[in-house]
Structure 1
């Protein structure tokens, strides 16, 4: 997954105005207690981060 696709999915599910703020402030257990922004900055793949977000937000299987 490309980073652009990751952010498109984030925008679709959280809204374009809120997605970046959520990514910077919400600690996600599935990312080892990091935020999305921290995980991406530390080299986690966009696909792995999306899977963690998907689980955290309890999105439907079709969105995985």
Structure 2
């Protein structure tokens, strides 16, 4: 997963405004008690950060792997 893919699936999953809030405000224990934005700045791989977001937000497997789907075919919002 690239940084650009992380931000794209975060926005697709939560929306632009809320996605940014999740990245800036949600503290993720799986990445050392940092926010997603801070973890990325500190060099944590985007895939590890995305997994931490998915775990913390209790997102399903379809959402966890959405970055593997062609962007034109991705659903918006959390998978159901």
**TM-score band (shorter)?**
0.7 to 0.9
Q: CA deviation at 1:52?
A: 0.6
Which one has more relative contact order, counting CA pairs under 8 Å at least 6 apart? 2
After TM superposition, the score normalised by the length of structure 2 is 0.72
The reply on whether 1:31 has 2:24 as its aligned counterpart is: no
After TM superposition, the score normalised by the length of structure 1 is 0.88
Q: Report the number of matched residues.
A: 64
- My pick for the range that moved more, 15-24 or 51-60, is 15-24
Structure of higher CA gyration radius: 2
Deviation beyond 6 Å, 4+ runs, structure 1: none
RMSD: 1.1
2:12 aligns to what? 12
Structure 2 residues without counterparts, runs of 5 or longer: 65-80
1:48 aligns to what? 48
